[in-house]
C-alpha cells in the first residue's frame, strides 16, 4: 500500500459479484427515480417524515442531485473493478478463487463507502432487513453481510492509512 492507494485483496469470483452488484445498483438508480420504488426512497430519506408537504418540497429540491451523486459514485467504483466479458461460467474453480488486488485511491474512498452502504440499503429494503442482528434463511442476506464485510475492510484500511500518515 502506498500513501495514495489502498489495496483490497479479493478473489476473482468476489470481484465479479461485486461488479454485478454495482452494475445492478447503477441500473436501479438510473431507471427508478420516479417510480415510487421503496429502495430509491430509502436512498433519499426525508428530514420531514411528519410533514408530507415539506417532505415533497425537500424531495423536489434534492432528490435528483442526490441520485446523480450516487450514480457518479457507483460509476467510479465500477470503473475500478475488472471487466468480465465472458462472465464466470468459463472459469475453473482455481481461477475463480485466485486472489486479485483492487486498488482504491484515497480520493475515491468516500465513493466506495457511499456506494457499498447504498447497496446494503437497497438489499435491506428488498429483504425487509431492519437491523444488522436480523438473520434469515434467504441466501441474499449473506450478500448483505458480505457487502458489509467489504465495507468494513475498506474502513479499516483507510483508518490504518490515516494512522500511518499521522505524525
> Which pLDDT does position 150 carry in this prediction?
95
Give the whole-angstrom CA distance, residue 6 versus residue 8: 6
- Least trusted range by pLDDT, from 34-43, 81-90, 97-106: 81-90
pTM value? 0.87
Cell numbers 427508478 label which residue? 32
| DSSP structural state of residue 108 | G
Statement: residue 33 has pLDDT above 80: no
Domain residue limits at 154: 5-165
What band does 1 get if pLDDT is binned at 50, 70 and 90?
very low
Quote the number of domains for the chain: 1
Based on its alpha-carbon atoms, the radius of gyration of the chain, rounded to whole angstroms, reads: 18
Neighbours of 94 (CB within 10 A): 8
Amino acid at each position: 500500500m502506498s500513501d495514495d492507494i489502498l489495496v483490497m485483496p479479493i478473489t476473482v469470483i468476489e470481484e465479479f459479484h461485486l461488479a454485478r452488484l454495482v452494475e445492478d445498483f447503477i441500473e436501479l438508480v438510473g431507471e427508478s427515480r420516479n417510480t415510487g420504488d421503496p429502495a430509491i426512497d430509502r436512498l433519499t430519506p426525508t428530514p420531514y417524515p411528519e410533514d408530507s408537504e415539506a417532505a415533497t418540497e425537500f424531495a423536489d429540491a434534492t432528490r435528483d442531485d442526490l441520485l446523480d451523486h450516487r450514480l457518479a459514485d457507483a460509476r467510479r467504483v465500477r470503473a475500478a473493478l475488472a471487466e468480465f466479458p465472458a462472465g464466470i461460467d468459463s472459469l475453473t474453480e482455481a481461477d475463480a478463487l485466485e486472489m486479485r488486488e483492487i486498488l482504491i485511491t484515497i480520493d475515491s474512498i468516500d465513493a466506495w463507502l457511499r456506494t457499498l452502504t447504498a447497496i446494503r440499503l437497497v438489499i435491506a429494503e428488498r429483504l425487509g432487513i431492519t437491523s444488522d442482528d436480523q438473520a434469515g434463511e434467504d441466501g441474499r442476506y449473506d450478500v448483505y453481510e458480505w457487502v458489509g464485510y467489504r465495507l468494513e475492510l475498506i474502513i479499516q484500511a483507510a483508518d490504518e492509512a490515516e494512522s500511518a500518515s499521522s505524525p
